[in-house]
């Protein structure tokens, strides 16, 4: 397995450089990854061939009774990419995942896996695999038996070797004979990942992968998952409500709200060029000033001096919040709006009541086309 996974890892690196070209991906995967294996930055012209995505949603709707959960979802997940569905609870992101796995059926619209409609295919007939939020490891089976579970239903010859390799990959060697109740949260998650990855699914589905873990563990596991995804080259579709998780893990993010996709793009696009007010606010704080938004870290505070080309407004410091490395200065504009500036600790010398100048560079402004303001 490791060889096939590594070959895909090469293709994955190539696909990553495609950025926002959602309708395009790499083909043929294997030959390209071999010929460009460890070489210089790829020339996009060489590899941008129109190829179908691994997973596609076309106008998918889903209602539970009178409640419309998904209202015309269109998504296209490129091969080998790490794709995040980001949104608040109730936005339909988990339903999207469950539709992919086959636990729910769409009311209308089509889902295509490897270019083929999955309509009518039961969960056990789909080559996708889910890592559940609570991991859903079988408590009566050991780690080894859990990983073996899915392979038993396939006529796999070298079952033992594949289980050993995948356990090696997620660093669970030595825990084979342990029951899920006897291993830590992080190990449970890796066991769940191994159980899915050993089947080499077309798409791996992750439902809030970090939410069941201790906060102290999350950053480490986040890095591990990212590294694992790059290594195996399988497309990961992750559901999360945590924007930091989505920004740090995903190649592409679809922000969802009230059953609709608000925006699809790379983490930078979503954060820096949000297309709707909802996306702007959900990805982080925004200072809204006369319809123009500026993120707190792009907002400067000064005592009357601005750089060339900057825009500014006079304000009065209300209070400061010390956050360790940075300080949040809350200031009030003449019009009454509160503006928050996140500044380095060393630059904080502002006292409540002090008159200051709030400034920002026009390129940092968040604006929307007329129709979405």
Partner 1 sequence: MNGLRRLFLAPAAVILVLLYGIPLAIVAAYSVLRRGAYGGVDAALTPYNFARLADALYLTILARSFLLAAAATLLCLLLAFPLAWFISKAGPRKHLYLSLVVLPFWTSMLICMYSWMFLLRDTGLVNTILLSLGWISEPLPLLYNYGAVLVGLVYNYLPFMVLPIFAALERLDPNLLEASADLGAKPWTTLRRVVLPLCAPGVRAGAVLVFVPSLGDYLTPDLLGGGRTIMIGNLIQNQFTASRDYPFGAAVSLALMSVVMLLLWQLLKHDKDPLL
Site residues (vs partner 1, CB under 8 A): 101-103, 122-124, 128-130, 132, 134, 136-140, 149-150, 153-154, 179, 181-182, 195-196, 199
* Beta-bridge partner residues of 63: 68
Q: Cα–Cα distance between 199 and 247 in angstroms, integer? A: 28
* DSSP per-residue string spanning 113-147: ETTEE-TT--GGGSSEEEE-TT----TTS-HHHHH
Q: Cα–Cα distance between 239 and 54 in angstroms, integer? A: 17
Closest to partner 1 by CB, 9 or 147: 147
Angle at 334 between CA 331 and CA 339, to 5 degrees: 30
Could you tell me the smallest distance in angstroms from the CB atom of residue 79 to partner 1?
A: 21
Q: Cα–Cα distance between 151 and 153 in angstroms, integer? A: 5
Non-local (6+) Cβ contacts of 324 within 8 A are 345
Could you tell me the smallest distance in angstroms from the CB atom of residue 52 to partner 1?
A: 24
Residue 136, CA atoms < 13 Å, CB-side half-sphere: 11
Closest to partner 1 by CB, 112 or 179: 179
Closest to partner 1 by CB, 207 or 251: 207
Could you tell me the smallest distance in angstroms from the CB atom of residue 169 to partner 1?
A: 18
Could you tell me the smallest distance in angstroms from the CB atom of residue 55 to partner 1?
A: 15
Q: Is 281 left (phi over 0), alpha (psi -120 to 50) or beta?
A: alpha
Closest to partner 1 by CB, 102 or 259: 102
Closest to partner 1 by CB, 121 or 273: 121
Closest to partner 1 by CB, 122 or 371: 122
* DSSP per-residue string spanning 323-355: -SSEEEEEEEETTS-EEEEEEEGGG----TT-E
Could you tell me the smallest distance in angstroms from the CB atom of residue 141 to partner 1?
A: 8
Closest to partner 1 by CB, 240 or 252: 240
The helix/strand/coil state of 364 is helix
Closest to partner 1 by CB, 95 or 252: 95
Q: According to DSSP H, which parts of the chain are helical?
A: 2-16, 29-35, 44-47, 93-101, 143-151, 159-169, 185-197, 215-232, 243-249, 267-272, 277-282
Cis peptide upstream of residue 5 (ω within 30 degrees of 0): no
Could you tell me the smallest distance in angstroms from the CB atom of residue 187 to partner 1?
A: 16
Could you tell me the smallest distance in angstroms from the CB atom of residue 192 to partner 1?
A: 8
Could you tell me the smallest distance in angstroms from the CB atom of residue 48 to partner 1?
A: 34
Closest to partner 1 by CB, 35 or 134: 134
Query: DSSP character for 42?
Result: P
The helix/strand/coil state of 21 is coil
Q: According to DSSP H, which parts of 48-204 are helical?
A: 93-101, 143-151, 159-169, 185-197
Residue 207 · residue 133 · CB < 8 Å: yes
Closest to partner 1 by CB, 86 or 128: 128
Could you tell me the smallest distance in angstroms from the CB atom of residue 327 to partner 1?
A: 44
Q: Cα–Cα distance between 16 and 252 in angstroms, integer? A: 10
Could you tell me the smallest distance in angstroms from the CB atom of residue 76 to partner 1?
A: 23
């Amino acid at each position: 397995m490791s060889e096939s996974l590594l070959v895909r890892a090469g293709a994955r690196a190539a696909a990553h450089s495609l950025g926002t070209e959602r309708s395009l991906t790499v083909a043929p995967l294997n030959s390209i990854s071999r010929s460009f294996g460890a070489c210089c930055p790829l020339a996009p012209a060489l590899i941008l061939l129109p190829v179908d995505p691994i997973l596609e949603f076309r106008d998918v709707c889903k209602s539970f009774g009178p409640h419309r959960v998904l209202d015309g979802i269109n998504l296209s997940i490129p091969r080998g990419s790490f794709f995040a569905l980001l949104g608040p609870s109730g936005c339909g992101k988990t339903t999207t995942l469950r539709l992919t796995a086959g636990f729910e059926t769409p009311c209308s619209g089509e889902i295509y896996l490897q270019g083929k409609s999955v309509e009518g295919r039961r969960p056990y007939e789909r080559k996708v695999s889910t890592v559940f939020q609570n991991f859903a490891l079988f408590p009566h089976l050991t780690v080894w038996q859990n990983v073996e579970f899915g392979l038993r239903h396939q006529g796999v010859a070298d079952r033992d070797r594949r289980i050993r390799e995948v356990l090696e990959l997620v660093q669970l060697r030595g825990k084979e004979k342990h029951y899920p109740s006897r291993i830590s949260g992080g190990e449970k998650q890796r066991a769940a990942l191994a159980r899915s990855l050993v089947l080499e699914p077309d798409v791996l589905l992750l439902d809030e992968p970090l939410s069941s873990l201790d906060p102290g563990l999350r950053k480490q596991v986040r890095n591990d998952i990212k590294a694992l995804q790059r290594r195996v080259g399988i497309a990961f579709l992750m559901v999360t409500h945590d924007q930091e998780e989505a920004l740090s893990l995903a190649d592409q993010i679809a922000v969802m709200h009230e059953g609709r996709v608000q925006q699809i793009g790379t983490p930078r696009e979503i954060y820096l060029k949000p297309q709707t007010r909802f996306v702007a606010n959900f990805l982080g704080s925004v200072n809204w000033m006369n319809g123009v938004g500026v993120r707190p870290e792009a907002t400067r505070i000064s005592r009357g001096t601005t750089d060339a080309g900057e825009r500014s407004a006079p304000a009065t410091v209300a209070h400061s919040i010390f956050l360790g490395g940075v300080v949040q200065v809350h200031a009030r504009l003449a019009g009454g709006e509160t503006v928050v500036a996140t500044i380095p600790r060393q630059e904080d010398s502002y006292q409540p009541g002090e008159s200051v100048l709030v400034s920002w560079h026009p390129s940092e402004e968040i604006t929307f086309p007329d129709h979405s303001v």
